[in-house]
Structure 1
Amino acid sequence: MTARSRPPLRVGVFGLLGAGNLGNDGSLEAVLGYLRTAHPRAVVDALCGGPETVTARYRIPATRLHWYRGEYRTANRAGAVLGKGLGKLVDAVRTAAWVRRHDVVIVPGMGVLEATLPLRPWGFPYALFLLCASGRLLGTRVALVGVGAAPIRDRATRALVRRSARLAAYRSYRDELSREAMRGMGVDVSRDEVHPDLAFALPTPPAPDSPGGQVCVGVMDFHGGNDDRARAGEIHRRYLDGTTRFVRALAEDGRPVRLLTGDGADAAVVAAIIEAVGSPLVTASPAASLAELMAETAAADAVVATRYHNLVCALKTGTPTLALSYAAKSDALMARMGLDAYCHPAREVDAERLIEQFRELEKHAAELRQILAERNLAAARHLDHQFTALTAAVLPEEPS
């Protein structure tokens, strides 16, 4: 068989994609861009959280990740408990059947090896384990590309994540903290590389016109992490109160404020802030993709944001950015981009201190824009290397 007559590579993409999280979808978009450039003959489909959205937006076939449609709803009744339990068994068969149809499955970015937000072991960690175990059993290479990881205290979740990582054929991480977290969980990371978040590979859109002095404030339906369940309500109230007070102070100074989100769950926080501030200067962005979020941040004088990929969007467009940091990954990202002095804890938002930090950020805006321009060039070079390494490891080059 000649090289040209070989069947095309069959590539699957896997994860909570198309389910409302713009960061996850941005990582998918970056990997699809790479595949369409470097492997144009590859046949690509997805096993994901929102198959209809993925098919409509990215023009690839997609299958629902879970057989039981209520997987991520709390099971309060016997029927729901039974449905979830049966779904775990059905998903084992469904996942294996899907995996065996592929040469390679890519998990594009996302925090798939962490529990920095509330997470149950038999949700996504179990789904990832099924994927990686099926890949190992059936000879399909599974690649965890540019993923996030963090130390996990829950024993069941940690065991599933550790086993999944060990079963994968290829791993790379979006920051050094992620690699160290997996080392701490007993995974051999000696061959695993660290690269910038995949979203840095997306094109930077031109900035639209916007009111002078506009500030983008990225908000989040934040209740703490997996270990904060006992005080989730208190954390949320403190976060919302501090962020609202900060937005109110900007509006009282005559600054237009654009509220950004990164997940459908954040809409309630946006509504609460707009109602509490009661100013026409405060508006909500309708952005439904990372490209649209980047357009918003590119048009702003400055950005203050919580969600990780809101930060990525702002930093990639070279806009001076202050992080309301809810996890070590946010601090690591800000440090990598040279803005580690501009972090504020999301669990304890102090509006007065936040305003002081914001004024300091704006005072040094010109210098920070130059630093970000240099760091973005470096990020682009690193991601070129990431995709070259991925091709060499699991995706041999095909004839055009």
Structure 2
Amino acid sequence: MRRTRQPARTRQTPVRVGLFGLLGSGNLGNDGSLEAVLGYLRAEHPEAAVDALCGGPEVVAARYRIPATRLNWYRGEYRTASRAGAIAAKGLGKLVDPVRTAAWVRRHDVVIVPGMGVLEATLPLRPWGFPYALFLLCASGRLFGTRVALVGVGAAAIADRPTRALVRWSARLAAYRSYRDALSRDAVRAMGVDTARDAVHPDLAFALPTPPGTASPGPPGSPGPVCVGVMDFHGGNDDRARAERIHRRYLDGTTRFVRALVEDGRPVRLLTGDGVDARVVAAILDAVDSPLASAVEATSLADLTAETAAADTVVATRYHNLVCALKAGTPTLALSYAAKSDALMERMGLGAYCHPAREVDPDRLLEQFRELEKRSAELRQTLEERNRTASRQLEQQFTALTTALFPRTDTSRADTPRETP
């Protein structure tokens, strides 16, 4: 028997729902969170009129078939400005964006920020970039009575005081908050936000369907492919002074690990999670120079999940590369760059298989990899069980979201779920 819920509300005028974030900008994890929330809205609230204020409106409009508006007035907002004209345009944008954001928010009943690490600075981040944009959103929501929901978001301790202040006020002004792990909720609480009513649920990407694997298998009896998810990694917001040293060590260690795999006769498929990672893929392929090493051109989390489903084992850095592999049920080793990766691996029963991305030791990494493969059958069973739990918990997340953001106006219809064959 399959349980389906009745639509939660009827209304003469469709509820107006906005989706907000760096969506359509090349980060597959962000877009996967958007896709999960869109799936929820289309299933549970098909009457809703949905649009987006986002980083890549052309991509979002074409891929997800919803109207989309550019997040920032200045198109080069997230590029480094060195010329006087670019600096002036950026400054002007800081004056124009509050008006644009307020006008957009005012047109909506509900605005959802779908997942993403919007309350963290585990990667390089400037306060006047996305933290400022998020603060404008949440302040506008409070001003105009629009319910702003931070749904399944990531958070972490932030050392930079201006960034921390903007993030703290954004969280305080939001009407609804939930987190993708307990560490995120703890971090927001440590910033001085009351999180007593905030819930923790699995990452939104676990709500996406799991496609079949597509990677090409090797000859019968040969070792299966290994997916290695790489990242253009330079450390976090507090590592700017040593960013290049961190990057060189990460690239060198990962390259040596891939070379060791191909020398053992293992096919290796390199995965990315953002467009900027392509330069790391090119550097590794050039250094390894083997027909056993190849790159995957993924354009969605579905592509990544399919690739990882077809692999024997996955070693990955980007958070949503890990999510895809774990969701696919493939034994996975994390090149961990933040506590969120460790928390995810622990939640899925693979907490022992984390390796620091800042200090990649290829010999130790290879040792962990071989240990992981020895336990492959056992770990696949563990992941199957943990994925079932994650699915149930995300159903609870969407039920709570409906209750918080879509109050019923038609009390004549029962809320009791109905059973269907």
- 1:38–1:397 CA contact under 8 A, matched in 2: no
- 2:215–2:311 CA contact under 8 A, matched in 1: no
The structure 2 residue matched to 1:384, chosen from 369, 377, 395, is 395
The structure 2 residue matched to 1:204, chosen from 207, 210, 217, is 210
| Aligned pairs for 1:1-400 within 5 A | 4=10, 6-208=12-214, 210-212=216-218, 213-397=224-408
Distance 1:209 1:271, change over 3 A: closer
Match of 2:419 in 1: none
- TM superposition score normalised by structure 1: 0.98
Cα distance in 2 for residues equivalent to 1:209 and 1:148:
31
CA RMSD of aligned residues (A): 1.1
| Alignment length (residue pairs) | 398
- Name stretches of at least 5 consecutive residues in structure 2 with no aligned partner: 1-8, 219-223, 414-421
- Please report how far the alpha carbon of residue 130 of structure 1 lies from its aligned counterpart in structure 2 after TM superposition: 0.2
Letter in 2 for 1:130: L
Deviations 1:187-208 (A, max 9, x none): 0000000000000000000122
- Please report how far the alpha carbon of residue 210 of structure 1 lies from its aligned counterpart in structure 2 after TM superposition: 2.1
- Name stretches of at least 5 consecutive residues in structure 1 with no aligned partner: none
Q: Report sequence identity in percent.
A: 81
Letter in 1 for 2:124: P
Cα distance in 1 for residues equivalent to 2:31 and 2:132:
21
Cα distance in 2 for residues equivalent to 1:105 and 1:209:
38
Q: Which runs of 4+ in 1 moved over 3 A?
A: 397-400
Cα distance in 1 for residues equivalent to 2:33 and 2:19:
11
Letter in 1 for 2:87: V
Cα distance in 1 for residues equivalent to 2:199 and 2:54:
26
Deviations 1:174-223 (A, max 9, x none): 00000000010000000000000000000000122522410000000000
Cα distance in 2 for residues equivalent to 1:202 and 1:5:
28
**Partner secondary structure for residue 229 of structure 1:** helix
**Partner secondary structure for residue 107 of structure 1:** strand
Distance 1:5 1:367, change over 3 A: closer
- Please report how far the alpha carbon of residue 264 of structure 1 lies from its aligned counterpart in structure 2 after TM superposition: 0.2
- TM superposition score normalised by structure 2: 0.93
Distance 1:130 1:5, change over 3 A: closer
